[in-house]
């Protein structure tokens, strides 16, 4: 006993000489400063969308309240690390007196180190255990700090902080990360066996599974559990648990949105210390980010897109993207960046990727032409072969089905997505003026309008799905342009109304033209010539929609809006590879229709009210070109009858090649004599001549040609020798010798 009393006296004296007590943080401060290794990205209602790993050095989960830790784990931890935790005041003097002075601070044992002392070492960097253990000064400082903690904190706070900050194995810190990584469950669900393994890892974090199992068995015996069967299987159980990594680095249903939200939150926080886009309550939840998304809608959009792409698997298409916007606020309600596991480029965000939008730019073009009073919805446009001179040569647009419908109204041209009338409209507007209009709608083009030329009417510029959907949202709102938002604000940002007196520089569209274009895009009868009356584009509620397909079927789009929502869908391949036989109604449109149906399953969508300055008038068309109807006009542009131009009424059809079609591939058969494999050329018009690869070939409306392998350009010339049409052919296969002999 004298020796023990001397040891205690010496220890107390050394503790007193260790220096003034350090200022230890309060419990609430430790809890507030705790940072998980990943951030949870939440939807607008707090539902988890995605976890994103932000700290690669350690793995921490959420801060877990002591009440949410299983009783088995609390018991196992106390039995293993500090049996008299609720009896001592920071230092277990009975444990100290039970040990010999020479072994009291042995770095290979923590027999006398209490949970409070361990926590003090975790909270103070100067007391943190190094690779060689703690020196005498650190041990004494740890003793003083533990007693200070006991005076300032409650026991439950000490145990809670310890469980959340203690290292376990490798990168794992805290009970939440350990439970979810090794056992695939939350801490409140740990049973006695799992709790024993967890407690064993504190004592020997890097031990081999057999040693961990042995230590866990001792803990279970101390817990007075039925260990006979459990200890026999504990070795195998510990080995399996230590190899498991159930807690993935990042998981959820919105990976692309989560990364963007994280960047925006960090940028906002850096600029304003604490971003006002997040409420105080949201900021205190472990740094989690609250977004504008709706989790149920996000899940539905993802599963719908994946299911549809599986149905298109045989058509060489594997990627897709979708975005849903709230028309009034600009909040993003769903953001699907890729098809996930179906894609070989799942990291590419299809919502932000720049792609050619095809015919989806046409509504923006017609809105500009109507606003500038160049056209009305009833104006007649010529849908026939056109040869437009450009600096690089003739531009000869074609319709999707390579057929022409003659003179059609603007309503029919836009709803049925006819290409040639759109190009003729761009000739009126000019490419550069249209490019300025697109920029005003938020579509930042990489080049000026003259760079794209007249092909800009057919979507030759590259835009993102998010930008395109937001431009359509601007049409839906009449004229109001606003940026989209993905971070949830305490209250929605107010959006200016058309009558709010905004300057012309901020105005994207004329609200009267926007209304007329929306009415056209909602007209099932007007789109019938191309899509039929039972098209997938038709909905049971009011909606306006436009599809688009880029060159060589590399991109397919469907973008449209209802009274409250704008939905955009893209289908294609991130690699840029063309799809096989995927049209506007078989690619993106079915996904668009399902998303719109989901949004309006319990919510109505009414047609917008006409704005001031729009009138409705009854119109007739000469030569019965289209049925008489009521039509919308900007006030002052209405007229009762639309006739063909005098020249157009008497002129014969424009000369054009009717066969073969552009892009035809001719395969020669080596078993058939070349003279029996002639290709017949057909054209409409008079006074015509043919030219192949720049050399005169024949005259008249028809001709026969003996093909030879290679790629060829066939041109049709009118009576004045002008090129009025051309097609490109490719001949493959045999026939080289015969061609040479010829």
Rounded Cα–Cα distance for residues 61 and 172 (Å): 9
Task: State residue 358's pLDDT score.
Answer: 93
Q: What is the mean pLDDT of residues 611-616?
A: 97
**Largest separation between any pair of C-alpha atoms in the chain:** 128
Q: At residue 610, does pLDDT exceed 80?
A: yes
**Contact of 305 with 459, CB cutoff 8 Å:** no
179: Cβ contacts below 8 Å, ≥ 6 apart: 61, 185, 186, 187, 189, 190, 194, 198
150: Cβ contacts below 8 Å, ≥ 6 apart: 88, 89, 90, 116, 158
Q: Is 487 helix (H, G, I), strand (E, B) or coil?
A: strand
Phi, psi of 402 (to 5 degrees): 60, 25
Q: At residue 521, does pLDDT exceed 50?
A: yes
- Percent of the chain scored above 70 by pLDDT? 82
CB neighbour burial string for 46-62, b if at least 16 within 10 angstroms, e if fewer: eeebbbbeeeeeebbbb
Instruction: Give 461-498 pLDDT, tens digit per residue.
Output: 999 999 999 999 999 998 778 999 999 875 444 444 43
- Of 110, 165, 168, the closest CA to residue 142 belongs to 110
Phi, psi of 418 (to 5 degrees): -85, 130
Q: What is the DSSP letter of 674?
A: G
**Contact of 54 with 106, CB cutoff 8 Å:** no
Q: How many CB atoms lie within 10 A of CB 232?
A: 10
Q: Is 316 helix (H, G, I), strand (E, B) or coil?
A: coil
Q: Is 288 helix (H, G, I), strand (E, B) or coil?
A: coil
Rounded Cα–Cα distance for residues 493 and 495 (Å): 6
Confidence of residue 206 (pLDDT cuts 50, 70, 90): confident
Confidence of residue 170 (pLDDT cuts 50, 70, 90): confident
Q: At residue 92, does pLDDT exceed 90?
A: no
**Contact of 294 with 596, CB cutoff 8 Å:** no
286: Cβ contacts below 8 Å, ≥ 6 apart: 34, 35, 36, 39, 40, 62, 63
- Percent of the chain scored above 90 by pLDDT? 57
**DSSP-assigned letters across all residues of 27-61:** HHHHHHH---SEEEEE-TTS-EEEEEE--SS-EE-
Confidence of residue 642 (pLDDT cuts 50, 70, 90): very high
Rounded Cα–Cα distance for residues 78 and 156 (Å): 12
Rounded Cα–Cα distance for residues 412 and 377 (Å): 9
Which burial class, exposed, middle or buried, applies to 215 when counting CB atoms under 10 A from its CB (0-12, 13-18, 19+)?
Answer: buried
Q: How many CB atoms lie within 10 A of CB 237?
A: 18
Confidence of residue 675 (pLDDT cuts 50, 70, 90): confident
- pTM value is 0.77
Q: What is the DSSP letter of 675?
A: G
Q: What is the mean pLDDT of residues 239-246?
A: 83
**DSSP-assigned letters across all residues of 519-576:** HHHT-HHHHHHHH-TT-TT--SS--EEEEEE-GGG-EEEEEEE-SSEEEEEEEE-TT-
Rounded Cα–Cα distance for residues 206 and 193 (Å): 19
Lowest-pLDDT choice from 74-83, 226-235, 247-256: 226-235
Task: State residue 693's pLDDT score.
Answer: 94
Rounded Cα–Cα distance for residues 520 and 415 (Å): 6
Q: What is the DSSP letter of 126?
A: G
Q: How far is CA 593 from CA 101, 310, 417, 587, in A?
A: 79, 17, 18, 11
Cα angle 458, 461, 464 (rounded to 5 degrees) comes to 110
Q: Is the dihedral of CA 368, 373, 378, 380 positive or negative?
A: negative
**Contact of 138 with 126, CB cutoff 8 Å:** yes
Instruction: Give 543-566 pLDDT, tens digit per residue.
Output: 999 999 988 889 999 999 999 999
716: Cβ contacts below 8 Å, ≥ 6 apart: 655, 656, 657, 683, 685, 688, 689, 690, 691, 723, 724, 725, 726
**DSSP-assigned letters across all residues of 327-374:** TTT-BEEEEE-S-GGG-S-TTS-TTTS-B--GGGGHHHHHHHHHHTTS
Instruction: Give 333-353 pLDDT, tens digit per residue.
Output: 999 999 998 999 999 999 999
CA dihedral (419, 422, 428, 429) in degrees, to 10, reads -130
């Amino acid at each position: 006993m004298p020796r023990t009393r001397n040891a205690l006296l010496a220890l107390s004296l050394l503790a007193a000489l260790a220096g003034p007590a350090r200022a230890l943080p309060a419990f609430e401060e430790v809890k507030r400063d705790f940072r998980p290794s990943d951030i949870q990205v939440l939807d607008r209602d707090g539902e988890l969308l995605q976890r994103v790993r932000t700290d690669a050095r350690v793995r921490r989960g959420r801060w877990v309240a002591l009440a949410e830790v299983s009783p088995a784990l609390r018991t196992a931890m106390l039995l293993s690390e500090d049996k008299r935790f609720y009896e001592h005041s920071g230092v277990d003097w009975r444990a100290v007196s039970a040990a010999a002075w020479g072994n009291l601070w042995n770095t290979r044992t923590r027999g006398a180190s209490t949970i409070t002392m361990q926590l003090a070492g975790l909270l103070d960097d100067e007391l943190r255990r190094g690779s060689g253990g703690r020196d005498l000064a650190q041990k004494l400082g740890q003793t003083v700090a533990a007693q200070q903690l006991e005076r300032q904190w409650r026991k439950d706070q000490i145990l809670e902080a310890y469980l959340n900050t203690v290292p376990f194995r490798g990168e794992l810190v805290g009970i939440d990360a350990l439970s979810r990584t090794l056992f695939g469950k939350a801490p409140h669900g740990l049973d006695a066996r799992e709790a024993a393994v967890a407690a064993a890892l504190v004592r020997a974090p890097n031990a081999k599974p057999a040693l961990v199992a042995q230590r866990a068995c001792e803990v279970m015996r101390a817990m007075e559990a039925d260990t006979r069967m459990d200890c026999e299987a504990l070795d195998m159980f510990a080995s399996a648990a230590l190899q498991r990594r159930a807690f993935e680095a990042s998981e959820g249903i919105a990976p692309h949105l989560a990364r963007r939200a994280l960047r925006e939150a960090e940028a906002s926080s850096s600029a304003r210390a604490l971003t006002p886009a997040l409420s105080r309550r949201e900021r205190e939840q472990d740094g989690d980010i609250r977004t504008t998304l709706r989790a149920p809608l996000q899940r539905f959009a993802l599963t719908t897109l994946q299911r549809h792409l599986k149905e298109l698997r045989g058509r060489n298409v594997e990627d897709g993207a979708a975005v849903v916007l709230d028309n009034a606020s600009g909040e993003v309600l769903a953001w699907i960046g890729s098809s996930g596991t179906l894609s070989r480029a799942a990291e590419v965000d299809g919502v932000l990727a720049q792609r050619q939008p095809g015919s989806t730019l046409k509504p923006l073009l017609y809105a500009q032409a109507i606003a500038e009073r160049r056209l009305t919805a009833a104006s007649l446009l010529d849908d026939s072969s056109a040869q437009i001179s450009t600096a690089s040569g003739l531009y000869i647009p074609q319709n999707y089905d390579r057929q022409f419908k003659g003179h059609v109204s603007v309503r029919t041209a836009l709803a049925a997505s006819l290409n040639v009338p759109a190009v003729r409209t761009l000739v009126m507007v000019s490419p550069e003026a249209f490019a300025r209009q697109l920029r005003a709608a938020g579509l930042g083009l990489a080049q000026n309008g003259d760079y794209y030329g007249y092909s800009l009417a057919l979507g030759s510029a590259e835009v993102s799905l998010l930008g395109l959907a937001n431009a359509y949202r601007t049409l839906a709102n009449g004229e109001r342009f606003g940026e989209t938002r993905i971070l949830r604000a305490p209250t929605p940002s107010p959006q200016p109304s058309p009558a709010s007196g905004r300057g012309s520089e901020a105005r994207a569209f004329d609200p009267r033209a926007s209304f007329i274009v929306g009415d056209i895009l909602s007209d099932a009868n007007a789109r019938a010539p191309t899509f039929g009356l039972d098209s997938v584009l038709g909905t049971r509620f009011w909606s306006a929609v436009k599809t688009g397909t880029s060159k060589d079927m590399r991109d397919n789009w469907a973008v449209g809006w209802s009274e409250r929502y704008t939905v955009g869908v893209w289908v294609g391949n991130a690699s840029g590879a063309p799809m096989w036989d995927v049209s506007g109604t078989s690619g993106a449109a079915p996904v668009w229709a399902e998303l719109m149906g989901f949004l309006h399953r319990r919510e109505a969508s009414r047609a917008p009210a006409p704005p001031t300055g729009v009138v409705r008038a009854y119109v007739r068309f000469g030569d019965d070109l289209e049925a008489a109807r009521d039509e919308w006009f900007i006030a002052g542009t209405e007229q009762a009858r639309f006739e063909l131009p005098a020249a157009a009424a008497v002129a014969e059809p424009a000369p054009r090649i009717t066969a073969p079609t552009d892009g035809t591939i001719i395969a020669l058969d080596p078993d058939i004599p070349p003279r029996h494999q002639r290709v017949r050329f057909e054209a409409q018009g008079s006074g015509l001549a043919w030219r192949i690869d720049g050399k005169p070939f024949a005259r008249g409306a028809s001709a026969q040609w003996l093909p030879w392998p290679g790629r060829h350009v066939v041109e049709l010339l009118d009576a004045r020798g002008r090129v009025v049409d051309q097609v490109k052919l490719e001949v493959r296969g045999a026939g080289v010798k015969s061609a040479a002999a010829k």
